Structure 1
Amino acid sequence: MTLRAAGSSSSTRSNQVPMTQALILIAEDEAEIAEILAAYLNRSGLRTIHAADGQDALIKHQSLKPDLVLLDVQMPRMDGWQVLSEIRHRGETPVIMLTALDQDIDKLMGLRIGADDYVVKPFSPAEVVARVMAVLRRAKTVAVDGVRLLRVGVFQIDLDNHEASVDLDGQRHTLDLTLTEFKVLTSLMRSPKRVFSRAELLVSCLPEGDTLERTVDSHVSKLRKKLESLGIHNTPASVRGVGYRFGGDA
Protein backbone atom coordinates (compact mmCIF):
# COMPACT_ATOMS: atom_id res chain seq x y z
CA MET A 1 0.00 0.00 0.00
CA THR A 2 1.58 3.30 -1.03
CA LEU A 3 -0.94 5.99 -0.16
CA ARG A 4 -0.26 8.64 2.46
CA ALA A 5 -2.90 9.55 4.98
CA ALA A 6 -5.22 12.11 3.43
CA GLY A 7 -6.96 15.09 4.94
CA SER A 8 -10.72 15.46 5.34
CA SER A 9 -13.05 14.91 2.42
CA SER A 10 -13.86 18.61 2.35
CA SER A 11 -10.36 19.31 1.01
CA THR A 12 -11.10 17.12 -1.98
CA ARG A 13 -14.46 18.76 -2.62
CA SER A 14 -12.82 22.18 -2.59
CA ASN A 15 -10.90 21.17 -5.73
CA GLN A 16 -14.07 20.88 -7.80
CA VAL A 17 -13.92 22.83 -11.05
CA PRO A 18 -16.21 23.07 -14.10
CA MET A 19 -14.52 20.14 -15.92
CA THR A 20 -16.66 17.68 -13.92
CA GLN A 21 -17.63 14.53 -15.78
CA ALA A 22 -14.21 14.31 -17.43
CA LEU A 23 -13.18 10.66 -17.80
CA ILE A 24 -10.00 9.58 -16.00
CA LEU A 25 -8.29 6.31 -16.89
CA ILE A 26 -6.53 4.87 -13.82
CA ALA A 27 -3.81 2.49 -15.04
CA GLU A 28 -2.68 0.85 -11.78
CA ASP A 29 -2.08 -2.83 -11.05
CA GLU A 30 -2.69 -2.51 -7.29
CA ALA A 31 -6.47 -2.79 -6.99
CA GLU A 32 -6.67 -1.14 -3.57
CA ILE A 33 -4.83 1.98 -4.76
CA ALA A 34 -7.00 2.16 -7.88
CA GLU A 35 -10.21 1.88 -5.83
CA ILE A 36 -9.17 4.65 -3.44
CA LEU A 37 -8.13 6.96 -6.28
CA ALA A 38 -11.43 6.28 -8.06
CA ALA A 39 -13.40 7.11 -4.91
CA TYR A 40 -11.63 10.47 -4.48
CA LEU A 41 -11.94 11.36 -8.15
CA ASN A 42 -15.63 10.36 -8.24
CA ARG A 43 -16.25 12.50 -5.17
CA SER A 44 -14.87 15.47 -7.12
CA GLY A 45 -17.30 14.92 -9.98
CA LEU A 46 -14.98 12.99 -12.29
CA ARG A 47 -15.72 9.68 -13.99
CA THR A 48 -13.15 6.88 -13.80
CA ILE A 49 -12.25 3.64 -15.55
CA HIS A 50 -9.62 1.17 -14.33
CA ALA A 51 -6.95 -0.78 -16.22
CA ALA A 52 -4.88 -3.34 -14.29
CA ASP A 53 -2.03 -3.68 -16.80
CA GLY A 54 -0.35 -1.78 -19.60
CA GLN A 55 -2.01 -3.56 -22.51
CA ASP A 56 -5.47 -3.10 -21.00
CA ALA A 57 -4.66 0.60 -20.49
CA LEU A 58 -3.88 1.05 -24.18
CA ILE A 59 -7.03 -0.81 -25.24
CA LYS A 60 -9.21 1.36 -23.00
CA HIS A 61 -7.37 4.53 -24.04
CA GLN A 62 -8.09 3.72 -27.67
CA SER A 63 -11.74 2.78 -27.21
CA LEU A 64 -12.86 5.20 -24.48
CA LYS A 65 -10.69 8.26 -25.26
CA PRO A 66 -10.25 9.43 -21.64
CA ASP A 67 -9.60 13.08 -20.87
CA LEU A 68 -6.58 12.19 -18.69
CA VAL A 69 -4.59 9.09 -17.76
CA LEU A 70 -3.18 8.32 -14.31
CA LEU A 71 -0.38 5.94 -15.27
CA ASP A 72 1.63 3.73 -12.92
CA VAL A 73 5.19 3.08 -14.08
CA GLN A 74 5.61 -0.48 -12.81
CA MET A 75 2.80 -2.53 -14.35
CA PRO A 76 2.59 -6.05 -15.82
CA ARG A 77 2.50 -6.86 -19.56
CA MET A 78 3.64 -3.33 -20.54
CA ASP A 79 5.31 -0.84 -18.21
CA GLY A 80 4.25 2.78 -17.88
CA TRP A 81 7.04 4.10 -20.12
CA GLN A 82 5.88 1.88 -23.00
CA VAL A 83 2.27 2.88 -22.47
CA LEU A 84 3.16 6.57 -22.32
CA SER A 85 5.18 6.30 -25.53
CA GLU A 86 2.24 4.74 -27.38
CA ILE A 87 -0.23 7.29 -25.99
CA ARG A 88 2.03 10.08 -27.22
CA HIS A 89 2.28 8.40 -30.61
CA ARG A 90 -1.53 8.51 -30.78
CA GLY A 91 -2.01 12.08 -29.60
CA GLU A 92 -1.87 14.55 -26.72
CA THR A 93 -4.00 12.96 -23.97
CA PRO A 94 -2.71 14.44 -20.67
CA VAL A 95 -0.82 11.85 -18.59
CA ILE A 96 0.18 11.99 -14.92
CA MET A 97 2.72 9.36 -13.92
CA LEU A 98 2.32 7.49 -10.62
CA THR A 99 5.78 6.35 -9.73
CA ALA A 100 7.96 5.18 -6.85
CA LEU A 101 10.93 6.39 -8.87
CA ASP A 102 11.93 9.89 -7.82
CA GLN A 103 15.36 10.15 -9.44
CA ASP A 104 15.90 13.06 -11.84
CA ILE A 105 16.82 10.69 -14.68
CA ASP A 106 13.42 8.99 -14.38
CA LYS A 107 11.59 12.30 -14.42
CA LEU A 108 13.59 13.47 -17.44
CA MET A 109 12.76 10.24 -19.25
CA GLY A 110 9.07 10.77 -18.62
CA LEU A 111 9.24 14.41 -19.71
CA ARG A 112 11.02 13.45 -22.90
CA ILE A 113 8.39 10.85 -23.71
CA GLY A 114 5.67 13.35 -22.86
CA ALA A 115 4.36 13.09 -19.28
CA ASP A 116 2.43 16.15 -18.10
CA ASP A 117 3.09 15.69 -14.37
CA TYR A 118 4.35 13.27 -11.70
CA VAL A 119 3.15 12.03 -8.36
CA VAL A 120 5.75 10.07 -6.40
CA LYS A 121 4.60 7.22 -4.18
CA PRO A 122 3.64 7.23 -1.37
CA PHE A 123 1.12 9.95 -2.15
CA SER A 124 -2.07 11.42 -0.75
CA PRO A 125 -5.20 10.72 -2.84
CA ALA A 126 -6.23 14.35 -2.30
CA GLU A 127 -2.92 15.46 -3.82
CA VAL A 128 -3.56 13.29 -6.87
CA VAL A 129 -7.02 14.85 -7.31
CA ALA A 130 -5.47 18.34 -7.09
CA ARG A 131 -2.87 17.42 -9.73
CA VAL A 132 -5.56 15.98 -12.00
CA MET A 133 -7.65 19.14 -11.72
CA ALA A 134 -4.63 21.34 -12.43
CA VAL A 135 -3.65 19.38 -15.55
CA LEU A 136 -7.23 19.38 -16.83
CA ARG A 137 -7.39 23.14 -16.35
CA ARG A 138 -4.14 23.58 -18.28
CA ALA A 139 -5.36 21.33 -21.07
CA LYS A 140 -8.44 23.54 -21.71
CA THR A 141 -9.83 20.98 -24.11
CA VAL A 142 -13.40 20.84 -25.36
CA ALA A 143 -15.10 18.02 -27.22
CA VAL A 144 -16.83 18.77 -30.53
CA ASP A 145 -18.44 15.77 -32.24
CA GLY A 146 -16.12 13.49 -30.29
CA VAL A 147 -12.93 15.37 -31.28
CA ARG A 148 -10.80 16.93 -28.54
CA LEU A 149 -9.91 20.55 -29.26
CA LEU A 150 -7.54 22.95 -27.50
CA ARG A 151 -8.48 26.59 -28.05
CA VAL A 152 -6.68 29.79 -27.08
CA GLY A 153 -7.67 33.03 -28.78
CA VAL A 154 -7.71 32.55 -32.56
CA PHE A 155 -5.71 29.32 -32.26
CA GLN A 156 -7.19 25.84 -32.31
CA ILE A 157 -5.44 22.48 -31.91
CA ASP A 158 -7.16 19.26 -32.95
CA LEU A 159 -5.48 16.88 -30.50
CA ASP A 160 -6.80 13.69 -32.08
CA ASN A 161 -5.87 14.53 -35.67
CA HIS A 162 -2.70 16.54 -34.95
CA GLU A 163 -3.94 19.62 -36.79
CA ALA A 164 -3.35 23.26 -35.86
CA SER A 165 -5.30 26.18 -37.28
CA VAL A 166 -6.12 29.84 -36.72
CA ASP A 167 -9.40 31.70 -37.31
CA LEU A 168 -8.83 35.09 -38.92
CA ASP A 169 -11.58 37.35 -40.27
CA GLY A 170 -14.05 34.48 -40.30
CA GLN A 171 -11.73 32.15 -42.19
CA ARG A 172 -9.90 29.12 -40.80
CA HIS A 173 -6.29 28.71 -41.87
CA THR A 174 -4.65 25.31 -41.33
CA LEU A 175 -1.02 25.62 -40.23
CA ASP A 176 1.56 23.53 -42.08
CA LEU A 177 3.68 22.57 -39.06
CA THR A 178 6.36 19.98 -38.48
CA LEU A 179 5.76 17.53 -35.62
CA THR A 180 8.18 19.46 -33.39
CA GLU A 181 6.53 22.81 -34.20
CA PHE A 182 3.14 21.26 -33.45
CA LYS A 183 4.39 19.96 -30.08
CA VAL A 184 5.92 23.35 -29.16
CA LEU A 185 2.72 25.23 -30.02
CA THR A 186 0.57 22.69 -28.16
CA SER A 187 2.76 22.82 -25.03
CA LEU A 188 2.67 26.62 -24.92
CA MET A 189 -1.09 26.76 -25.52
CA ARG A 190 -1.79 24.38 -22.63
CA SER A 191 -0.43 27.05 -20.25
CA PRO A 192 -0.53 30.31 -22.26
CA LYS A 193 0.58 32.56 -19.39
CA ARG A 194 3.43 30.32 -18.25
CA VAL A 195 7.03 30.84 -19.34
CA PHE A 196 8.70 27.63 -20.51
CA SER A 197 12.47 27.31 -20.34
CA ARG A 198 14.36 26.07 -23.39
CA ALA A 199 15.34 22.98 -21.40
CA GLU A 200 11.67 22.13 -20.73
CA LEU A 201 10.74 22.48 -24.39
CA LEU A 202 13.80 20.50 -25.43
CA VAL A 203 12.85 17.59 -23.21
CA SER A 204 9.12 17.54 -23.95
CA CYS A 205 8.92 18.52 -27.62
CA LEU A 206 12.08 17.64 -29.50
CA PRO A 207 13.22 14.28 -30.89
CA GLU A 208 15.41 12.01 -28.81
CA GLY A 209 18.62 12.97 -30.64
CA ASP A 210 18.34 16.72 -30.04
CA THR A 211 20.34 17.80 -27.00
CA LEU A 212 21.18 21.47 -27.66
CA GLU A 213 18.95 24.21 -26.28
CA ARG A 214 19.69 26.43 -29.28
CA THR A 215 17.82 23.87 -31.38
CA VAL A 216 14.65 25.06 -29.59
CA ASP A 217 15.31 28.60 -30.84
CA SER A 218 15.51 27.33 -34.41
CA HIS A 219 12.15 25.55 -34.20
CA VAL A 220 10.49 28.54 -32.52
CA SER A 221 11.89 30.87 -35.19
CA LYS A 222 10.43 28.72 -37.98
CA LEU A 223 7.08 28.54 -36.18
CA ARG A 224 7.04 32.33 -35.82
CA LYS A 225 7.71 32.87 -39.52
CA LYS A 226 4.76 30.68 -40.43
CA LEU A 227 2.50 32.67 -38.10
CA GLU A 228 3.88 36.01 -39.29
CA SER A 229 2.86 35.09 -42.84
CA LEU A 230 -0.72 35.20 -41.53
CA GLY A 231 -0.20 38.52 -39.74
CA ILE A 232 0.28 37.02 -36.27
CA HIS A 233 3.35 38.53 -34.63
CA ASN A 234 5.43 37.79 -31.52
CA THR A 235 4.04 34.27 -31.10
CA PRO A 236 5.62 32.48 -29.38
CA ALA A 237 6.88 35.41 -27.30
CA SER A 238 10.45 35.49 -26.01
CA VAL A 239 11.15 36.11 -22.32
CA ARG A 240 14.74 37.26 -22.09
CA GLY A 241 16.98 35.02 -20.04
CA VAL A 242 14.20 32.47 -19.44
CA GLY A 243 12.57 31.03 -22.56
CA TYR A 244 9.21 31.31 -24.28
CA ARG A 245 5.53 31.71 -23.53
CA PHE A 246 2.52 31.57 -25.82
CA GLY A 247 1.86 35.32 -25.64
CA GLY A 248 1.88 37.27 -28.86
CA ASP A 249 -0.45 39.68 -30.56
CA ALA A 250 -3.02 37.20 -31.85
Structure 2
Amino acid sequence: MMKRITVLIADDEAEIAELIALHLKKEGYHYVIASDGKEAIQAVQTQSIDLAILDIMMPKLDGYEVTRQIREQHQMPIIFLSAKTSDMDKISGLVRGADDYMTKPFNPMELIARVNAHLRRSLQMNQPAAAANKPIVEVGGLVIYPDQRTVRLYDETIELTPKEFDILYLLASYPKKVYSAENIFQHVWGEAYYESANTVMVHIRTLRKKLGEDIHKNKLIKTVWGVGYTFNG
Protein backbone atom coordinates (compact mmCIF):
# COMPACT_ATOMS: atom_id res chain seq x y z
CA MET A 1 0.00 0.00 0.00
CA MET A 2 1.44 3.37 -1.06
CA LYS A 3 2.25 5.94 1.58
CA ARG A 4 -0.21 8.83 1.76
CA ILE A 5 1.45 12.08 0.69
CA THR A 6 0.79 14.95 3.09
CA VAL A 7 1.41 18.60 2.26
CA LEU A 8 1.56 21.36 4.86
CA ILE A 9 -0.06 24.67 3.87
CA ALA A 10 0.99 27.46 6.22
CA ASP A 11 -0.68 30.78 5.39
CA ASP A 12 -2.65 33.22 7.52
CA GLU A 13 -4.88 34.09 4.56
CA ALA A 14 -7.63 31.47 4.81
CA GLU A 15 -8.86 31.96 1.22
CA ILE A 16 -5.41 31.25 -0.19
CA ALA A 17 -4.91 28.20 2.02
CA GLU A 18 -8.31 26.81 1.01
CA LEU A 19 -7.60 27.42 -2.70
CA ILE A 20 -4.32 25.49 -2.45
CA ALA A 21 -6.03 22.75 -0.46
CA LEU A 22 -8.69 22.38 -3.15
CA HIS A 23 -6.09 21.83 -5.87
CA LEU A 24 -4.03 19.47 -3.71
CA LYS A 25 -7.14 17.40 -3.03
CA LYS A 26 -7.80 17.12 -6.77
CA GLU A 27 -4.28 15.68 -7.13
CA GLY A 28 -5.03 13.09 -4.47
CA TYR A 29 -2.83 14.60 -1.76
CA HIS A 30 -3.69 14.87 1.90
CA TYR A 31 -3.11 18.32 3.39
CA VAL A 32 -2.76 20.08 6.72
CA ILE A 33 -3.51 23.79 7.10
CA ALA A 34 -1.71 26.03 9.60
CA SER A 35 -2.73 29.67 10.08
CA ASP A 36 0.51 30.79 11.74
CA GLY A 37 4.12 29.75 12.19
CA LYS A 38 3.66 27.98 15.51
CA GLU A 39 0.87 25.84 14.12
CA ALA A 40 3.14 24.97 11.19
CA ILE A 41 5.92 23.76 13.50
CA GLN A 42 3.43 21.79 15.57
CA ALA A 43 2.16 20.08 12.41
CA VAL A 44 5.67 19.07 11.39
CA GLN A 45 6.38 17.72 14.86
CA THR A 46 3.19 15.70 15.18
CA GLN A 47 2.49 14.52 11.63
CA SER A 48 4.38 12.98 8.72
CA ILE A 49 4.76 15.93 6.35
CA ASP A 50 6.24 15.34 2.89
CA LEU A 51 6.32 18.93 1.59
CA ALA A 52 5.63 22.38 3.05
CA ILE A 53 4.15 25.43 1.34
CA LEU A 54 4.95 28.42 3.55
CA ASP A 55 3.98 32.05 3.52
CA ILE A 56 6.79 34.29 4.78
CA MET A 57 4.82 36.95 6.63
CA MET A 58 2.88 34.88 9.18
CA PRO A 59 1.89 35.64 12.79
CA LYS A 60 3.86 34.26 15.77
CA LEU A 61 6.69 32.79 13.65
CA ASP A 62 7.51 33.94 10.13
CA GLY A 63 8.30 31.58 7.28
CA TYR A 64 12.05 32.07 7.67
CA GLU A 65 12.00 30.89 11.28
CA VAL A 66 9.67 28.01 10.46
CA THR A 67 12.10 26.92 7.74
CA ARG A 68 15.06 27.17 10.11
CA GLN A 69 13.35 24.93 12.65
CA ILE A 70 12.21 22.44 10.02
CA ARG A 71 15.71 22.20 8.58
CA GLU A 72 17.13 21.24 11.99
CA GLN A 73 15.52 17.81 11.64
CA HIS A 74 13.92 17.42 8.20
CA GLN A 75 14.91 17.63 4.54
CA MET A 76 11.39 17.86 3.11
CA PRO A 77 10.94 20.20 0.13
CA ILE A 78 9.87 23.71 1.13
CA ILE A 79 8.15 26.14 -1.24
CA PHE A 80 7.80 29.77 -0.21
CA LEU A 81 4.61 31.41 -1.46
CA SER A 82 4.90 35.09 -0.67
CA ALA A 83 3.77 38.60 -1.54
CA LYS A 84 7.43 39.67 -1.25
CA THR A 85 8.43 39.94 -4.90
CA SER A 86 11.92 41.46 -5.16
CA ASP A 87 14.95 39.48 -6.30
CA MET A 88 16.53 40.00 -2.87
CA ASP A 89 13.44 38.49 -1.23
CA LYS A 90 13.76 35.44 -3.46
CA ILE A 91 17.49 35.12 -2.80
CA SER A 92 16.92 35.46 0.95
CA GLY A 93 14.26 32.76 0.86
CA LEU A 94 16.46 30.31 -1.02
CA VAL A 95 19.51 31.06 1.14
CA ARG A 96 17.47 30.32 4.27
CA GLY A 97 16.65 26.82 3.12
CA ALA A 98 13.66 26.96 0.76
CA ASP A 99 13.76 24.82 -2.38
CA ASP A 100 11.52 27.06 -4.44
CA TYR A 101 9.91 30.51 -4.32
CA MET A 102 6.65 31.68 -5.90
CA THR A 103 5.14 35.12 -5.64
CA LYS A 104 1.53 36.14 -5.02
CA PRO A 105 -0.72 36.41 -6.95
CA PHE A 106 0.07 32.94 -8.28
CA ASN A 107 -1.25 30.39 -10.72
CA PRO A 108 -2.56 27.42 -8.68
CA MET A 109 -1.81 25.00 -11.53
CA GLU A 110 1.82 26.12 -11.65
CA LEU A 111 2.10 25.69 -7.89
CA ILE A 112 0.73 22.14 -8.16
CA ALA A 113 3.17 21.39 -10.99
CA ARG A 114 6.03 22.50 -8.75
CA VAL A 115 4.67 20.47 -5.83
CA ASN A 116 4.56 17.39 -8.06
CA ALA A 117 8.11 17.96 -9.28
CA HIS A 118 9.56 18.46 -5.80
CA LEU A 119 7.72 15.44 -4.39
CA ARG A 120 8.85 13.24 -7.27
CA ARG A 121 12.45 14.29 -6.78
CA SER A 122 12.25 13.93 -3.00
CA LEU A 123 10.76 10.44 -3.15
CA GLN A 124 13.46 9.34 -5.59
CA MET A 125 16.24 10.71 -3.39
CA ASN A 126 14.81 8.97 -0.31
CA GLN A 127 14.97 5.54 -1.89
CA PRO A 128 17.94 3.69 -0.31
CA ALA A 129 19.00 2.14 -3.61
CA ALA A 130 19.23 5.54 -5.28
CA ALA A 131 21.89 6.81 -2.87
CA ALA A 132 23.66 3.46 -2.64
CA ASN A 133 24.32 3.43 -6.38
CA LYS A 134 25.92 6.86 -6.36
CA PRO A 135 29.69 7.05 -5.79
CA ILE A 136 31.46 9.40 -3.39
CA VAL A 137 32.95 12.32 -5.30
CA GLU A 138 36.41 13.58 -4.30
CA VAL A 139 37.89 16.56 -6.11
CA GLY A 140 40.77 18.47 -4.54
CA GLY A 141 39.72 19.36 -1.01
CA LEU A 142 36.04 18.67 -1.72
CA VAL A 143 34.37 15.38 -0.73
CA ILE A 144 30.68 14.70 -1.43
CA TYR A 145 28.92 11.78 0.29
CA PRO A 146 25.65 11.03 -1.57
CA ASP A 147 24.40 8.43 0.92
CA GLN A 148 24.59 10.89 3.82
CA ARG A 149 23.99 13.93 1.57
CA THR A 150 26.88 15.72 3.25
CA VAL A 151 29.74 17.80 1.89
CA ARG A 152 33.19 18.46 3.33
CA LEU A 153 35.59 21.06 2.03
CA TYR A 154 39.14 21.03 3.42
CA ASP A 155 37.89 18.85 6.31
CA GLU A 156 35.09 21.28 7.20
CA THR A 157 31.42 20.33 6.83
CA ILE A 158 29.50 22.63 4.49
CA GLU A 159 25.79 23.00 5.27
CA LEU A 160 23.80 22.95 2.03
CA THR A 161 20.11 22.98 1.23
CA PRO A 162 18.80 19.89 -0.62
CA LYS A 163 18.79 21.70 -3.97
CA GLU A 164 22.27 23.14 -3.44
CA PHE A 165 23.55 19.64 -2.69
CA ASP A 166 21.93 18.22 -5.82
CA ILE A 167 23.39 20.97 -8.02
CA LEU A 168 26.87 20.52 -6.58
CA TYR A 169 26.76 16.73 -6.90
CA LEU A 170 25.58 16.99 -10.51
CA LEU A 171 28.35 19.39 -11.53
CA ALA A 172 31.10 17.66 -9.53
CA SER A 173 30.18 14.23 -10.92
CA TYR A 174 31.07 15.41 -14.42
CA PRO A 175 33.97 17.88 -14.13
CA LYS A 176 34.50 20.15 -17.12
CA LYS A 177 31.09 19.28 -18.60
CA VAL A 178 29.08 22.44 -19.18
CA TYR A 179 25.44 22.44 -18.04
CA SER A 180 23.03 25.14 -19.12
CA ALA A 181 20.72 26.58 -16.48
CA GLU A 182 17.85 24.72 -18.13
CA ASN A 183 19.78 21.41 -17.99
CA ILE A 184 20.50 21.90 -14.29
CA PHE A 185 16.89 22.75 -13.56
CA GLN A 186 15.63 19.68 -15.40
CA HIS A 187 18.07 17.39 -13.56
CA VAL A 188 17.56 18.84 -10.08
CA TRP A 189 13.92 19.96 -10.09
CA GLY A 190 12.68 17.41 -12.60
CA GLU A 191 10.73 20.00 -14.58
CA ALA A 192 11.34 22.85 -17.00
CA TYR A 193 9.94 26.27 -16.11
CA TYR A 194 10.17 29.66 -17.71
CA GLU A 195 11.88 31.01 -14.57
CA SER A 196 14.38 28.14 -14.38
CA ALA A 197 17.44 30.18 -15.37
CA ASN A 198 16.92 32.76 -12.61
CA THR A 199 16.21 30.07 -10.00
CA VAL A 200 19.41 28.19 -10.89
CA MET A 201 21.42 31.44 -10.89
CA VAL A 202 20.30 32.24 -7.34
CA HIS A 203 21.19 28.75 -6.11
CA ILE A 204 24.59 28.88 -7.81
CA ARG A 205 25.28 32.25 -6.19
CA THR A 206 24.50 31.00 -2.68
CA LEU A 207 26.35 27.74 -3.31
CA ARG A 208 29.49 29.65 -4.26
CA LYS A 209 29.32 31.68 -1.06
CA LYS A 210 29.00 28.55 1.06
CA LEU A 211 31.95 26.99 -0.73
CA GLY A 212 33.99 30.06 0.20
CA GLU A 213 34.87 31.10 -3.31
CA ASP A 214 35.42 34.63 -2.07
CA ILE A 215 38.04 33.27 0.35
CA HIS A 216 39.70 30.40 -1.54
CA LYS A 217 41.62 31.23 -4.69
CA ASN A 218 40.12 28.42 -6.76
CA LYS A 219 36.56 28.85 -8.02
CA LEU A 220 34.93 25.43 -7.96
CA ILE A 221 31.95 26.45 -10.07
CA LYS A 222 32.87 28.30 -13.24
CA THR A 223 30.50 30.33 -15.37
CA VAL A 224 30.81 29.74 -19.10
CA TRP A 225 29.30 32.93 -20.38
CA GLY A 226 26.36 32.45 -22.68
CA VAL A 227 26.38 28.67 -22.12
CA GLY A 228 26.03 27.71 -18.46
CA TYR A 229 28.07 26.33 -15.57
CA THR A 230 30.84 23.76 -15.12
CA PHE A 231 32.74 22.27 -12.19
CA ASN A 232 36.30 23.55 -12.13
CA GLY A 233 37.81 21.30 -9.45
Of the three residues 64, 83, 86, the one matched with 1:81 is 64
- 1:31-69 residue CA offsets vs partner (Å, 9 max, x unmatched): 221112111101111111111110111111122231110
Q: Which residue of 2 aligns with 1:60?
A: 43
Q: 5+ unaligned residues in a row in structure 1: which ranges? A: 1-18, 157-162, 167-172, 221-237, 246-250
1:73 aligns to what SS in structure 2? coil
Provide the C-alpha distance between the structure 2 equivalents of 1:98 and 1:143, rounded to a whole number of angstroms. 25
Q: Deviations over 1:115-134 (max 9, x none)?
A: 11111111122221111112
Q: 1:217 to 1:211 in 2, by over 3 A?
A: closer
CA RMSD of aligned residues (A): 4.0
Q: 2:80 aligns with which of 97, 113, 124?
A: 97
Q: Is 1:212 aligned to 2:214, yes or no? A: yes
AA aligned to 1:243 is Y
Alignment of 1:146-225 (within 5 A): 151=130, 154-155=133-134, 164=145, 177=152, 178-180=156-158, 184-188=164-168, 194-195=183-184, 200-203=203-206, 207=210, 210=212, 212=214, 217=219
Aligned to 1:3: none
Inter-partner Cα distance in structure 1 for 2:149 and 2:91? 32
Aligned residue pair count: 193
60-69 or 186-195: which moved more? 186-195
TM-score by length of 1: 0.61
On the 8 A contact 1:198/1:243 being kept in 2, the answer is no
Deviation at 1:91, TM superposition (A): 3.0
The 1:213/1:21 distance shift into structure 2, 3 A limit, reads: farther
Name the structure 2 match of 1:233.
none
TM (norm. structure 2) is 0.65
Deviation at 1:215, TM superposition (A): 7.6
When residues 85 and 206 of structure 1 are mapped into structure 2, their CA distance, relative to the original with a 3 A threshold, is: farther
AA at the equivalent of 2:133: V
> Are 2:13 and 1:37 aligned?
no
Q: 1:8 maps to which residue?
A: none
Which residue is equivalent to 2:229? 243
Letter in 2 for 1:151: A
Counterpart residue number, 1:121: 104
Which 5+ residue runs of structure 2 have no aligned equivalent? 136-143, 174-178, 186-199
